[in-house]
Chain A
Amino acid sequence: MKPAAFDYARPTTRREACDLLFDAGDAARIIAGGQSLMAVLNMRLAEPRLLIDISAIDDLRTIERREGYLAVGAGVTQAELLEHPTLADEVPLLAQAMPWIGHAQTRNRGTVCGSIAHADPSAELPLCLLTLGGEVVLETRKGKSRRVAAGEFFQGVLTTARRSDELITEVRFPLKRPGRAYRFQEIAMRHGDFAIVALAAVIADDAVELGVGGVADRPVMRTLPHGEKLADALNEFAWSLNAQDDAHASAIYRRHLVRELGIRLIDGETPQEDGANARQV
């Protein structure tokens, strides 16, 4: 379990990083916290020629509240965001969801944008970004940048709309909106494991935005009605995800959880303390 040889660069500016990325293209990988990439490298599931470490780029290490959203730079660790003093007020869904990400040790290294870039179908952060309708900001050489909506960014298992010469510089989580309730729940085999099913909900008076992770090949969000039509809509949603069997959970079990936990989450029957506190380890 030793990685293949690679070159390593540690630029101190975004521009430098983008230039390196432009030159190396697909042969380069960005590394920030390394919580997924290092395991992949050590198992030789990937053999990039160049690692570009962005942890020394100071202006990527910021968390900023801007007009309507919270911008999280690519160098910000999950622990830093979770400890952001106003997080629960600004993006309450994240405050609920982030304790479910791995463990304190992995959150200390793992970055928010790294998780978005990796696009693991079970990961909490892509699910939250999608459910909140957030955006990913990508930068290329010469300071050119574009924004991609989360719904377009996640394209499949570990696959995103990021082009090989693009650096994710920040992700934008929409701020709490009045009249909305935010809820999160996850079922995993153990604390910190990949979600079997993760649910994130933004609940308004007239409708619910429900995001589901861990079931399809990417997080998926659907707007659902309240009331008597909810159960049918959830069933349809559950089936549309094309759940798969794996070693830990069956497809039917995943559909079952989407329906049953979905309805309880939306109707507020899920004790939030169970989720957030008991699992904050």
Chain B
Amino acid sequence: MNAFESPTLDKRSGHIGKRQTRVEDDALLRGQGRYGDDLATPPGTLHAAVLRSPHAHARLTSLDVSRALAMPGVHGVLTGDDVKRWAQPFPVGVRQPMDHWCVAVDKVRYVGEPVAVVIAENRYLAEDALEGVCVGYEPLPVAVDTEAAIADGAVILHEAVGANVVNDRRFCYGDPQTAFDTAERRVSLKVRFPRSSCTPIECYFVLAQYDVASGGYDVTSNFQGPFALHSVMTRALKVPGNLLRLRTPPDSGGSFGIKQGVFPYVVMMGLAARKVGAPVKWVEDRLEHLQASSSSTNRVTEVEAAVTHDGRVTALRLDQLDDCGAYLRAPEPATFYRMHGNLTGAYAIRHLEVRNRVVMTNKTPTGLNRGFGGPQVYFALERLMQRIATELDLDPLEVIRRNLIPSGSFPYRAAAGALLDSGDYPKAVALGIEEGGLAELLERRKAARRAGRLYGIGYTVAVEPSISNMGYITTAMTPEERRKAGPKNGAVSTATISVGPLGDISAHVSSTPQGQGHRTVVAQVIAEVLGVPLESISVNVELDTGKDAWSIASGNYSSRFSGAVAGAVYNAALKIKQRLAVIAAEQWGVDAERVRFGEGRVFVDGGDASASFHRIAGATHWSPGTLPESESGGLRETAFWTPPELVAPDDNDLINSSLCYGFIFDYCGVEIDRITGAVRIDRYVTLHDAGRMLNPDLVDGQVRGGFAQGLGVALMEEFAYGDDGSFISGTFADYLVPTAVEVPEPLILHMETPSPFTPLGAKGVGEGNNMSTPVCVANGVADALGIKDIELPLTPSKVRTLMGFDEPPRPEGVGEEVAKQTPGGSLLTASDSVEIPGTPRQVFDNLLDPDTLAAIIPGCHALELTGENAYRADVTVGVGMIRARFDARVALRDLDPPHALRLSGAGTSSMGSAEGSAKIRLTEIEGGKTRLDYDYEASVGGKVASVGGRMLQSASKMIIAQIFTRLSRHLGGAAPKASLWQRIKRLVTGKGGQS
């Protein structure tokens, strides 16, 4: 039984469990929030802009900042050399020789990796000066696809490791081999889960100062925790913990885990401040954020179940590849191990075999993101359950129910070590079926299908872990390695309550909320315990490591607030209450056990004595001499709380990876448009058992938010990369997040089975739908279409493709041959042809002539010979209003006069990098003319690839075509002839392209 139900709480005032309006909202809705960027800056604060790599993988060959330093308002440029001098690489969670610095020192390994930091008087000037930093890159082959990255011959990101798999662990629980050997049926599935992020409205913020006298750093940042990373930052900065004072702003514009990833910038800006001897402020912009902040991992899972004929799963085998991007950034590889203890979900599966491989690829490093590890696990597990039903011809809900952990078996030790604290899963499912109206939904499906429509129902059950065990990450190490490193475990939370001279109550929690309403709930808990009005309590949620009580588990992650932090608040309030009860009891000559609190008063149960709360509490300040001997005077109590259930992983790798485990049962009805492939959510039911609800309004808010984000992952969100590692989701027009129009209102149902392990019986509830919704929708689509392989996001184009096209053939001569295209890639290819006056010889010789070349390259300001048929060119390239000035290398190669040659170019600009080459063939045709055929391949990287994806193919085509039409004009002095395909088009359509 938890403390809340114990007799120490004498009179329920009803604050806990009440649908209390958030105390935060009034200021936020009036625009009075105080976010990082709103805070006053110290006089002389300078502003930073980060120069980022346009290449996914390249060796740094040179770095010249001299031009930038000479630009107006520039105070300095922080480079890899400075970082090597003053800092060291971030500690990594696995033992591998991989150096991750806050600024690249030898290689860049993902698009957007910081290469230098310009510090100037304002952000405008700093961005101007980015163009003055000259970086030499030697591009290297890339490893982008997760499976390709572990194949033989893949380029290695971290050479010293010798492989892109940087951690490979196998686990065996129970006797899976026998279970599989004797299985009546086996069902297997391979799934890929995409990368995404919950994209907070406010991006990263850092304001850093360096104190020369102490050698310490004072940084304000919207870092969200876990504060274990404070140690990672101090190690990188080479200072003791007390010389990195880290503070957080009063308000936060959302995080969802993502703001854990600001920590490398805390170090970077600290060093930048040191470099220029002034405070430095940096506010991340949206392109930086999407491209290079952090994201969930993308995962490839092969999963297999040993199953009985009636659908009972006896064993599970998982082979998981987690793609953590270019560096293993703390706390990775936690995405795997956060879920490890409860990998068997809500099911009583006793035999489990797991292989976890952590893979490095040329993508942005990953980190916390709401649901952390859950969406990946449940996408495999719950898709598998749906497949079992399909392959065994059973009802999917029946398969789920047959495998649930039975009622009455809690706390339940799951196969991999999770101690599932409380719940009644079969009862919850029954409740969901009943109150969610499943019977009617089944009727809707029947009716829709009768009418020839594509309608499906998806089901999901999930266990939602919360309050992570700080030791779970060490499951990535072998037991031997763990023994050497010493045990890690627990989850310390802290809360401090002060009562002022007038009885006014202030509370502080080291929880760094990101918009969830912690101030409201903290006040509710204190009001409940001390019997004072909620409005009289002031809650401060800023964290200052220089002054506040905190520990490594501090921060806002792992849905730890309601179970752990509110519990610590409760404990601190009990301490205050106990002290006041003793004071009052002595004054009144009664037993302290009889002292009660309520309605702003302290009184004796069954007696006459009574005083206002402020009178009793004020005595600790005004008249400490009147207090009992045990009293120290003053009234401030800090509670630290850690649950004993969170122990380190044992030698058999059993790990209770979290303290609490909520339960979710979701189902949905989806309809698919036969023509467009659009998925419409007809109905969505989500039932949660998150233990005791402290404020059901906030619980509902969490469910709605998680649902919207889960729906986004299901239907549209993906951080997409080209085959060359270019990042192509750089704006909110490319990375699509559902808006109010796209998100239906889910039916939210609740059940309350209090946790026996938290002070208030509450569990986390913030991440459940991020875990359950993507796969629930996928199961609905699988049911509607009757197909096995479902890959998210289920965009209309993708869904329609799953349904198959019966496409009429391309009429002869219409359009272009369909070249090999890379969906979502940045490789641009095309072929075209142009007629040019003059013989092939003349054309060929002209192409080798620098004057001609200068004349035909669009926007060429200067061309300088650098070698045989090799040039350096200064060109402005663009379409429409979009223009960039490139420093380019142009070369003519593979000369086969006068028949063929290759024209290639590569360049960089502030917009990114571009390279390409065109194979040119010259054929003599009638009238002394030449037909010039060309095939080109081009790729672009950096900013332009991130934001221009939709138009790149057309734009590149237009720019390349300009070269040859200009050549034609140059030789003939007349307007060029229409190209072949234009003429064909004109023939067929009676129209022509007017380009």
Which residues of A pack against B, CB within 8 Å?
A: 1-5, 29, 36-37, 39-40, 43-48, 118-119, 121-122, 151-152, 155-161, 187, 189-194, 196, 216-217, 222, 231-232, 235-236, 239-242, 244-253, 255-257, 259-261, 264, 279, 281
Binds A, one of B523-531, B590-598, B657-665, B818-826: B818-826
Q: Is the CB of B824 within 8 A of A40?
A: no
A223 and chain B: residue at smallest CB distance: B990
For A245, the chain B residues whose CB sits under 8 A away are 821-824
From A161, A194, A216, A256, contact of B950 by CB (8 A) = A194
Residue of A nearest to B72 (CB): A5
Question: CB distance B953 to A244 under 8 Å?
Answer: yes
> With contacts A45-B884, A253-B800 known, is A248 near B795, CB below 8 A?
yes
Report which residue of A37, A122, A190 has the largest number of chain B beta carbons within 10 angstroms of its beta carbon. A190
Judging by beta carbons under 8 Å apart, are B881 and A251 in contact? no
Taking a contact as CB atoms closer than 8 A, the residue among B734, B800, B880, B948 that contacts A159 in the complex is B880
- The answer on a CB contact under 8 Å between A158 and B951 is yes
Which of A122, A190, A196 lies in contact with B738, CB distance below 8 A? A190
> Which residues of A are found within 8 Å of B995, using beta-carbon distances?
155-156, 159
Partner of B883, one of A2, A46, A232: A46
Question: What is the CA–CA distance of A5 and B126 in the complex, to the nearest angstrom?
Answer: 12
Q: Is the CB of B951 within 8 A of A5?
A: no
Are the C-beta atoms of A189 and B879 separated by less than 8 Å?
Answer: no
Supply 20 further A-B pairs (C-beta < 8 A) apart from A158-B951, A159-B879, A192-B739: A2-B123, A2-B127, A37-B881, A45-B883, A155-B995, A156-B958, A161-B994, A190-B739, A190-B741, A191-B739, A236-B811, A239-B814, A241-B815, A247-B720, A249-B795, A251-B821, A253-B677, A253-B797, A256-B807, A257-B675
A197 and chain B: residue at smallest CB distance: B676
Q: Which residues on the A side are within 8 Å of B950 (C-beta)?
A: 122, 194, 246-247
Cβ-defined contact, B949 with A158, below 8 A: no
Q: How far is A83 from B287 in the complex, measured between Cα atoms in Å?
A: 35
Counting CB contacts under 8 A, is B410 at the interface?
A: no
Tell whether, in the assembled complex, residue B675 and residue A119 are in contact, meaning their CB atoms are under 8 Å apart.
no
Q: How far is the CA of A273 from the CA of B821 in the complex (A)?
A: 36
* 23 pairs, A vs B, C-beta closer than 8 Å: A4-B127, A4-B128, A39-B731, A43-B947, A44-B943, A45-B884, A45-B944, A46-B878, A46-B883, A47-B883, A158-B880, A187-B676, A190-B716, A216-B954, A231-B808, A236-B814, A245-B821, A246-B823, A246-B949, A246-B953, A247-B720, A251-B821, A257-B675
User: Once bound together, how far apart are the Cα atoms of A245 and B953, in whole Å?
Assistant: 9
Note all chain B residues with C-beta closer than 8 A to A189: 716, 736, 795-796
Q: Are B128 and A5 in contact (CB under 8 A)?
A: yes
Give every chain B residue within 8 A of A187 (Cβ-Cβ). 676, 678, 796
Min C-beta distance of A274 to chain B, whole Å: 11
Residues in B neighbouring A156, C-beta threshold 8 A: 879, 954, 958, 993, 995
Please, which residues of chain A bring their CB within 8 A of the CB of B805? 252-253, 256
On whether the beta carbons of B880 and A118 are closer than 8 Å, the reply is yes
Tell me whether B989 is interfacial, beta carbon within 8 Å.
yes
Q: When the two chains form their complex, are residues A255 and B807 in contact, meaning their CB atoms are under 8 A apart?
A: yes
CB distance from B351 to the nearest CB of A (A): 41
Set of chain B residues within 8 Å of A1, measured between Cβ atoms:
285-287
The answer on a CB contact under 8 Å between A45 and B801 is no
| Residue from the list B816, B880, B943, B949 in contact with A157, Cβ < 8 A | B880
Is B955 an interface position by the 8 A CB rule? yes
Residues of B within 8 A of A232 (CB): 808, 811
Q: Do the beta carbons of A239 and B810 come within 8 Å of each other?
A: yes
The complex places the Cα of A259 from the Cα of B810 at a distance, in Å, of: 12
Asked if B882 CB lies within 8 Å of chain A CBs, one says yes
Contact residue among B797, B800, B822, B911 (Cβ-Cβ distance under 8 Å from A45): B911
Which residue in chain A gives the minimum CB-CB distance to B795?
A: A248
The residue of chain A having its C-beta at the shortest distance from the C-beta of B738 within the complex is: A190
Residue of A118, A151, A241, A246 near B881 (CB, 8 A) is A118
Docked CA distance A264–B947 (Å)? 34
CB-based contact A250/B823 at 8 Å: yes
Contact of A119 among B124, B733, B880 (CB under 8 A): B880
Q: With the chains together, A157 CA to B878 CA distance in Å?
A: 11
* Interchain CB contact (< 8 A) of B947 among A45, A48, A152: A45
Query: A250 CB to closest chain B CB, in angstroms?
Result: 5
Assembly CA distance A240 to B880 (angstroms):
24
List of B residues within 8 angstroms of A4 by Cβ: 124, 127-128
Contacts of A5 in B (CB 8 A): 124, 128
Query: A2's contact among B124, B823, B955, B957, by CB below 8 Å, is which?
Result: B124
Query: Are B985 and A240 touching (Cβ within 8 A)?
Result: yes
Once bound together, how far apart are the Cα atoms of A40 and B884, in whole Å? 12
Complex Cα gap A246–B729 (Å): 11
Q: Judge whether B5 is part of the interface by a CB distance below 8 angstroms.
A: no
B742 at the interface (CB under 8 A from A): yes
Q: Decide: B824 and A247 in contact? CB cutoff 8 A.
A: yes
Tell me which of A3, A45, A217 contacts B954 (CB under 8 A): A217
Give Cα distance in the complex from A192 to B943, angstroms: 23
Given A122-B950, A242-B816: A152 and B994 interface contact (C-beta under 8 Å)? yes
Q: Give the chain A neighbours of B824 by CB distance below 8 A.
A: 245-247
Of all chain A residues, the one with the shortest Cβ separation from B730 is A43
Whether B734 pairs with A247 at a CB distance below 8 angstroms is yes
A45 nearest CB across to chain B (Å): 5
Query: Please, what's the 1-or-0 string for B959-995, where 1 marks a CB less than 8 Å from any CB in chain A?
Result: 0000000000000000000000000010011010111
Contacting residue for B815 out of A158, A191, A240, A279, CB 8 A: A240
- Report the separation of the CA atoms of residues A4 and B797 in the bound assembly, to the nearest whole angstrom: 38
In the complex the two chains form, is B741's CB within 8 Å of A46's CB? no
Q: Are A46 and B882 in contact (CB under 8 A)?
A: yes
How far apart sit A100 and B879, CA to CA, in the bound complex (Å)?
A: 25
* B910 located at the interface, meaning its Cβ lies under 8 Å from any Cβ of chain A in the complex: yes
In the complex, chain A residues whose CB is within 8 Å of the CB of B678: 187
Please name all residues of chain A whose beta carbon is closer than 8 Å to the beta carbon of B718 when the two chains form the complex: 247
B728 CB-CB contact with A under 8 Å: yes
A235 to chain B, nearest CB (A): 5
User: What mask results when residues 870 to 900 of chain B are scored 1 for a CB within 8 Å of chain A, else 0?
Assistant: 0000000011111110000000000000000
Partner among A217, A241, A247 whose Cβ is within 8 Å of the Cβ of B729 = A247
Question: Does A240 lie within 8 Å of B738, measured CB to CB?
Answer: no
Q: Give bound CA distance, A260 to B128, whole Å.
A: 49
Q: Look across to chain A and name the residue whose beta carbon is closest to the beta carbon of B674.
A: A260
Tell me the minimal C-beta distance from A159 to chain B in angstroms: 5
With a cutoff of 8 Å between Cβ atoms, the chain B residues found around residue A264 in the complex are: 675
Query: How distant is the Cα of A18 from the Cα of B989 in the complex, in angstroms?
Result: 38
Q: Which residue of B879, B911, B947, B988 contacts A158 across the interface (Cβ within 8 Å)?
A: B879
Nearest residue (CB) in B for A30 is B881
CB distance A40 to B881 under 8 Å? yes
Please indicate the chain B residues that have their CB under 8 angstroms from the CB of A255 in the complex: 807
**Residues in chain B near residue A248, CB distance under 8 A:** 736, 795, 797
Q: Is there an interface contact between A247 and B808, defined as CB atoms closer than 8 Å?
A: no
- B675 contact set on A, CB distance < 8 A: 257, 260-261, 264
